[in-house]
């Protein structure tokens, strides 16, 4: 759950920007929680409103809650302020879709109405019980402002839209026990079943140690707390929106959350309140001790693997049993000042849903946009065998560059000119800020200049740079918003991540989804993903351009590039 006090400060407070995000005072301004578009500027052009990403017609959204499929319809619940464009008045909004692309907006599923949630209905998950019976688990704030775990059930299971939900009076199911922090106890996971017992996790912290607490139940109504944390880590702070699921060792198909066995690994993910990023590890679930043990293949903490190295937070996954895939939803947390969003009457988007699976190395995940997104492609432009020498750029014409899908494979003829890699460069984001797209290198930087103005006063480069370490090559992937807008006062970070890829064939692939104010990029087939929120003032609508470029002394070749204009879905919550 994104705690609202953190976001309410954007409007009237002095904001301090760090390389990890935005911080400020925790004072809430109720007037701004209900500020509507007509109270600010009704004539503001919505040049930054996305064309094919999930977004309500107006107002604030954050965490995706409990996505699921039921009777042929995809359901997405999400945190929503029905009264304004900043955090506040949060309800569980509800939209449904047949294809994950076109969405119908329904009435909220749940909102504060009972003593156990009278002060808030915060994040949670959906579990499908035997007999295809969905049940919502969510965090409520009771009259004492304690965070308690509640449930809701559909009023009519024969309705595929599940329009109405009931919150029974035997709530709450779980309350913070003695010695627990009642203000840091939230976001129950999808439950899984092992040997006749249901298990679920709740995020919390003990001083500065982040952790998840496990609860067990035979009947889903009476829950018992485990004696020890399911997993914890020192100096990581509050763990929000935990997620826990199995991945197959031998198949690209997804797995139901309750699957365990020799042929699976488990993924454990948390959203760190201190950094506003999502981190995960791959490891082993000990079902007898109810503990999670990360594999020793990545850092467990701030320096570890992330689903996405950009504007991406509070994610939630679910198993799609119709297409046998696990789908991941993430929220593009707002990184600019809130007044910019309030002026437009909306804030926040859900990023394109992604399939997620275990990489063949078994050390990390691979993500890719759901295949349904390709139905929005039209007007394909192709480019092949285009050589880019140092300083070259080529414009990709014939598409709507502000609303596009681009896939490109670069061929590197030689790695001899790769710059030496300093082992102290462990922070990819700092390295990208130091060696941006304008800084000449040996092999790279090369990639795409997205949402670019004609004369490059504005552009958001997404690019690679290759270094040579003692025994291997190191690939850095960047999505650098530093030059994305001439507008002052915006948070414009240099997002970056390292790419674990074999360059034996000299090829690097990149896919970027460009949608007016968001650029979602997938490097090396989805091994490294970066999403950037950007707000250009020149490179908008028909004045947005797209270029491929190289600023390295080693030439690279565009082996193949395919770009498409993207049409809008026929229905997007209207």
Q: Which residues are catalytically annotated?
A: 63
Please tell me the distance from the alpha carbon of residue 220 to that of residue 424, in angstroms, as a whole number. 49
Helix, strand or coil, per DSSP, at residue 456: coil
Please tell me the distance from the alpha carbon of residue 347 to that of residue 374, in angstroms, as a whole number. 26
Please tell me the distance from the alpha carbon of residue 304 to that of residue 288, in angstroms, as a whole number. 27
What one-character DSSP code corresponds to residue 531?
A: E
Q: Which helix (H) or strand (E) holds 143?
A: none
Give whole-number Cα distances, 243 to 216, 544, 547, in Å: 16, 37, 38
Residue 480 contacts residue 436 (beta carbons within 8 Å): yes
Please count the residues of the chain: 574
- Residue 14, number of CB atoms within 10 A of its CB: 7
| CA-angle at 11, arms to 6 and 15, nearest 5° | 65
Residue 277 contacts residue 306 (beta carbons within 8 Å): yes
Residue 462 contacts residue 508 (beta carbons within 8 Å): no
Please tell me the distance from the alpha carbon of residue 121 to that of residue 167, in angstroms, as a whole number. 11
Q: Dihedral through CA 528, CA 531, CA 536, CA 538, nearest 10?
A: 50
Q: Which two tokens stand for residue 284?
A: 């082993």
* Residue 521: closest CA among 535, 531, 509: 531
Residue 289 contacts residue 34 (beta carbons within 8 Å): no
Q: Which two tokens stand for residue 549?
A: 């470029």
Tokens 């190395």 -> residue:
361
> What single string gives the DSSP state of each residue in 392-403?
-EEE--SS-TTE
CB within 8 Å of 272: residues ≥ 6 apart: 210, 236, 237, 238, 239, 240, 278, 279, 302
Helix, strand or coil, per DSSP, at residue 560: strand
Please tell me the distance from the alpha carbon of residue 467 to that of residue 190, in angstroms, as a whole number. 41
Please tell me the distance from the alpha carbon of residue 169 to that of residue 49, in angstroms, as a whole number. 41
Residue 552 dihedral angles phi and psi, to the nearest 5°: -105, 155
Helix, strand or coil, per DSSP, at residue 228: coil
Residue 171 contacts residue 184 (beta carbons within 8 Å): no
């Amino acid at each position: 759950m994104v705690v609202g006090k953190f976001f309410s400060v954007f409007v009237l407070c002095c904001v301090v920007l760090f390389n990890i995000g935005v911080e400020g005072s925790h004072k809430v301004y109720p007037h701004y929680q209900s500020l509507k578009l007509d109270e600010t500027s009704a004539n503001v052009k919505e040049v930054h409103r996305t064309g094919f990403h999930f977004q309500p017609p107006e107002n604030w959204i954050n965490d995706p809650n409990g996505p699921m499929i039921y009777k042929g319809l995809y359901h997405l619940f999400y945190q929503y302020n029905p009264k304004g464009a900043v955090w506040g008045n949060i309800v569980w909004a509800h939209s449904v879709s047949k294809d994950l692309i076109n969405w119908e907006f329904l009435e909220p599923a749940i909102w504060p109405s009972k003593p156990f949630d009278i002060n808030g209905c915060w994040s949670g998950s959906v579990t499908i019980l035997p007999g295809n019976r969905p049940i919502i688990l969510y965090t409520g704030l009771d009259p004492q402002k304690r965070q308690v775990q509640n449930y809701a059930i559909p009023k009519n299971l024969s309705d595929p839209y599940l329009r109405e939900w009931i919150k029974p009076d035997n709530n709450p199911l779980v309350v913070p026990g003695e010695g627990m922090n009642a203000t840091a106890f939230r976001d129950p996971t999808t439950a899984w079943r092992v040997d006749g017992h249901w298990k679920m996790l709740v995020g919390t912290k003990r001083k500065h140690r982040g952790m998840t607490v496990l609860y067990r139940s035979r009947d889903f109504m009476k829950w018992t707390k485990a004696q020890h944390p399911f997993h914890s880590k020192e100096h990581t702070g509050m763990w929000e929106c935990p997620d826990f699921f199995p991945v197959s060792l031998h198949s690209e198909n997804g797995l139901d959350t309750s699957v365990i066995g020799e042929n699976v690994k488990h993924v454990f993910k948390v959203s760190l309140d201190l950094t506003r990023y999502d981190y995960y590890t791959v490891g082993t679930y000990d079902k007898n001790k109810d503990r999670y043990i990360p594999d020793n293949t990545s850092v467990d903490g701030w320096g570890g693997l992330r689903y996405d190295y950009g504007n991406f937070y509070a994610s939630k996954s679910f198993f799609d049993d119709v297409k046998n895939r696990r789908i991941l939803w993430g929220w593009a947390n707002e990184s600019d000042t809130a007044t910019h969003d309030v002026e437009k009457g909306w804030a926040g988007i859900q990023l394109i849903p992604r399939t997620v699976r275990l990489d063949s190395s078994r050390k990390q995940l691979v993500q890719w946009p759901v295949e349904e997104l390709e139905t929005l492609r039209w007007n394909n432009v192709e480019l092949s065998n285009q050589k880019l020498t140092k300083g070259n750029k080529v414009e990709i014409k014939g598409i709507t560059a502000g609303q596009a899908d681009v896939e490109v494979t670069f061929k590197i003829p030689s790695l001899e000119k790769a710059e030496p890699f300093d082992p102290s460069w462990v922070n990819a984001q700092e390295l990208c800020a130091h060696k941006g797209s304008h800084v000449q290198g040996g092999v790279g930087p090369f990639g795409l200049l997205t949402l670019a103005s004609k004369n490059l006063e504005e552009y958001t480069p997404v690019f690679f740079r290759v270094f040579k370490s003692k025994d291997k090559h190191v690939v850095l992937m960047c999505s650098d918003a530093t030059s994305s807008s001439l507008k002052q006062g915006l948070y414009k970070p240099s997002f970056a991540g390292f790419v674990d890829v074999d360059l034996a064939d000299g090829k690097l692939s990149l896919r970027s989804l460009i949608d007016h104010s968001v650029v979602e990029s997938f490097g090396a087939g989805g091994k490294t993903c970066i999403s950037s929120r950007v707000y250009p003032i020149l490179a908008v609508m028909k004045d947005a351009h797209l270029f491929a470029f190289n600023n390295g002394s080693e030439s690279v070749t565009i082996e193949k590039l395919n770009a498409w204009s993207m049409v809008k879905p026929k229905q997007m919550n209207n």
